[in-house]
């Protein structure tokens, strides 16, 4: 565990010998960092994450990376159905309607780089809570800067210069990793991350962007050296 630690009791063993293959990003959705920290360490709440990052950039380690933190809940990403057993969870202290601060984003970038290096996690496997649980979750929300992470090699971003796709939107979204849900739910989750300003029905831009992601980053492709 790196950084100051406040161990949470809310963890268990990763099931069936699983190892981290994903990083799931969250916002706390609470009014303060301290309130979020208290909840993540409360045995009655039965929720946790591996790390909590404050608006000031302070990183608190809550659960050892070798263990299964209780952060993701029900949902899937690609073929992974027990996301908790296959992921590292990072909570960002934010009520859900505020910009993420520069110190917080910088701290996240440093932490992500270390976690991804330790576990050989590819950038396309850094996802939102809302990605693996559409309809149920919306964090880290429309104000989170995914493109910044992608520019730093810590996540991915679709290429807007792509002019053609050979795959319907829903098929492409599922190939990228989204769950097998109705198109409307996939569109909502996809836009929340990649086009939070977009409104209205599915359009050609959605299809092209999803097709580019599916072409370059199929979620179940073997990692380098596997």
Catalytic residue numbers read 91
Question: 128 - beta bridge partners?
Answer: 25
Q: In the chain, which ranges are E strands?
A: 11-12, 22-27, 51-53, 59-61, 68-69, 87-92, 126-128
User: CA nearest 132: which of 89, 164, 167, 95?
Assistant: 89
The answer to whether 136 and 74 have CB atoms below 8 angstroms apart is yes
Q: Which residues contact 199 (CB under 8 A, 6 or more apart)?
A: none
How many Å apart are CA 179 and CA 30, to the nearest integer?
27
- Buried b / exposed e across 86-96, counting CB within 10 Å, b at 16+? bbbbbbbbbee
What is the distance between the alpha carbons of residues 49 and 101, in angstroms, rounded to a whole number?
Answer: 20
């Amino acid at each position: 565990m790196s950084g100051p630690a406040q161990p949470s009791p809310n963890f268990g063993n990763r099931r069936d010998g699983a190892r981290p293959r994903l990083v799931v990003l969250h916002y706390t959705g609470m009014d303060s960092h301290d309130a979020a920290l208290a909840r993540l360490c409360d045995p009655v709440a039965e929720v946790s994450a591996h790390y909590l990052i404050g608006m000031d950039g302070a990183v608190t380690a809550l659960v050892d990376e070798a263990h299964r933190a209780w952060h993701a809940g029900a949902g899937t990403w690609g073929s992974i159905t027990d996301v908790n057993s296959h992921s590292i969870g990072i909570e960002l202290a934010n009520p859900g309607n505020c910009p993420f601060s520069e110190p917080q984003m910088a701290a996240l970038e440093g932490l992500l780089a270390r976690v991804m290096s330790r576990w050989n996690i590819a950038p396309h496997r850094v996802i939102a809570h809302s990605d693996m649980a559409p309809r149920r979750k919306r964090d880290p929300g429309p104000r989170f800067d995914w493109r910044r992470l992608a520019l730093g090699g810590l996540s991915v971003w679709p290429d807007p210069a792509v002019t053609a796709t050979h795959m319907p939107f829903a098929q492409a979204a599922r190939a990228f990793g989204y769950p097998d849900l109705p198109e409307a739910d996939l569109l909502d989750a996809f836009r929340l991350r990649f086009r939070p300003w977009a409104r209205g029905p599915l359009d050609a831009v959605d299809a092209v962007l999803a097709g580019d992601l599916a072409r370059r980053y199929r979620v179940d492709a073997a990692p380098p050296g596997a």
